[in-house]
């Protein structure tokens, strides 16, 4: 099938030249023979001879250039795949030279992009850590306002800034994921308890109650650090979209060959029209725009990390009834 496609492309490209050459020579010899009074049989003979000669020339042309047409039909992201091994003609050598130049240009561009990205990452890391220092001072200072009305407002806004800064770092850390991945036996109850304790202040200030319902012996094989990041993000969202006095439940169960870890809230839920887009970068649904400070980054990170880990994430939500985010191991 591929060979046929190459032949069709070659014929479509060369057919006009073939026809013009053939007709020109037939007309020329035909007129010449007619002027000299040679019979019609001789005209057909010379026409056939011209056709055979042109056909041989085009077969030779296909032999010397056919692989270039084959490469033109190739669909590959790797430029090296377009190089022709052992060129048969100067045409194929020129084609290889063009591809070599493209590869060199592309490599230089990639090096520049990596250097720019590395510099950008260093600047972001430096910026975030510099901002975190005064935030820590503000957090400590706010403790003196514990008995005032503004205390909760100050602490909540400090937590929001810290959360956004951490998300910024997580986005940049995704590039290093493959070099930072360690598969190990992870006990879900321990990692879920650590994630809940890490958000203890957020639970308290939001007046949301955590509930952990995971068996002590239940475990999965994953990367504990990255898995903790996922759970932390899901818990943060659950708290953010819940009302005071509600409960966020973390539960897990094993079904046949799979383990399902769920973070369930009783909050505002997600509109049906938004469900298919919630994992897109910077996408904020209707309820997110109306009731909470959303960046559209958190669930994008969750989706990317879950896919890298080889797991799956599912969402089930009803407006005003709550949302359940489930990781399938």
Q: In tens digits, what is the pLDDT along the chain, a chain of 329 residues?
A: 567 777 777 777 777 777 777 777 767 766 766 666 666 666 677 777 777 887 888 888 888 887 887 888 888 888 888 888 888 888 888 888 998 898 999 888 888 887 877 777 777 767 777 777 777 777 777 777 666 667 777 777 777 777 777 777 777 777 666 666 778 888 998 998 998 988 888 888 788 898 998 888 888 898 888 888 889 889 988 888 888 888 999 998 988 888 899 999 888 888 888 888 888 877 776 666 565 566 677 888 888 888 888 888 888 888 888 888 898 99
Cβ neighbour number for residue 300 with a 10 Å cutoff: 21
| 174 falls within a domain | no
Full residue range of the structural domain in which residue 308 is found = 181-328
218 in Cβ contact with 189 (< 8 Å)? yes
How many domains does the chain fold into?
2
253 in Cβ contact with 268 (< 8 Å)? no
| 71 falls within a domain | yes
Whole-number pLDDT of residue 256: 83
Alpha carbon distance 284, 282 (integer Å): 6
Q: What are phi and psi of 160, to 5 degrees?
A: -65, -45
185 and 321 together in one domain: yes
| 43 falls within a domain | yes
Whole-number pLDDT of residue 328: 92
| 146 falls within a domain | no
Last residue of a domain, one of 75, 109, 139: 75
Strand pairing category for 209-213 and 247-255:
parallel
The CATH number of whichever domain residue 324 belongs to comes to: 3.30.565.10
Whole-number pLDDT of residue 260: 92
Last residue of a domain, one of 24, 41, 75: 75
Q: What is the pTM of this model?
A: 0.59
Alpha carbon distance 126, 103 (integer Å): 34
- Scored b (16 or more CB within 10 A) or e, 62-100 reads beebbbbbbbeeeeeeeeeebebeebebeebeebbeebe
| 288 falls within a domain | yes
């Amino acid at each position: 099938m591929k060979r046929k496609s190459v032949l069709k492309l070659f014929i479509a490209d060369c057919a006009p030249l073939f026809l013009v050459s053939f007709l020109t020579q037939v007309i020329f010899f035909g007129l010449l023979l007619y002027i000299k009074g040679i019979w019609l049989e001789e005209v057909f003979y010379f026409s056939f001879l011209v056709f055979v000669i042109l056909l041989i020339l085009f077969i030779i042309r296909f032999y010397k250039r056919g692989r270039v047409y084959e490469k033109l039909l190739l669909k590959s992201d790797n430029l090296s795949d377009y190089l022709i091994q052992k060129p048969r003609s100067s045409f194929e050598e020129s084609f290889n030279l063009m591809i070599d130049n493209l590869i060199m240009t592309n490599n230089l561009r990639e090096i520049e992009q990596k250097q720019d990205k590395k510099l950008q990452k260093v600047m972001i890391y430096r910026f975030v850590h510099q901002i975190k220092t005064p935030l820590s001072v503000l957090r400590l200072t706010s403790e003196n306002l514990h008995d005032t009305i503004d205390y909760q407002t100050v602490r909540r806004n400090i937590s929001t800034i810290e959360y956004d800064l951490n998300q910024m770092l997580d986005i940049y850390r995704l590039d290093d994921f493959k070099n930072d991945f360690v598969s190990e036996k992870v006990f879900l109850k321990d990692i879920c308890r650590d994630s809940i304790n890490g958000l203890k202040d957020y639970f308290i200030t939001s007046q949301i109650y955590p509930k952990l319902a995971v068996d002590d012996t239940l475990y999965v094989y994953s990367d504990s650090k990255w898995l903790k990041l996922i759970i932390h993000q899901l818990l943060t969202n659950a708290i953010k979209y819940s009302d005071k006095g509600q409960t966020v439940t973390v539960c897990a169960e094993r079904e046949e060959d799979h383990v399902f870890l769920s973070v369930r809230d009783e909050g505002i839920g997600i509109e049906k029209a938004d469900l298919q887009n919630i994992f897109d970068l910077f996408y904020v649904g209707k309820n997110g725009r109306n009731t909470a400070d959303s960046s559209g980054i958190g669930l994008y990170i969750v989706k990317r990390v879950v896919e890298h880990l080889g797991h799956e994430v599912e969402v089930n939500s009803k407006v005003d009834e709550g949302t359940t985010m489930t990781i399938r191991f």
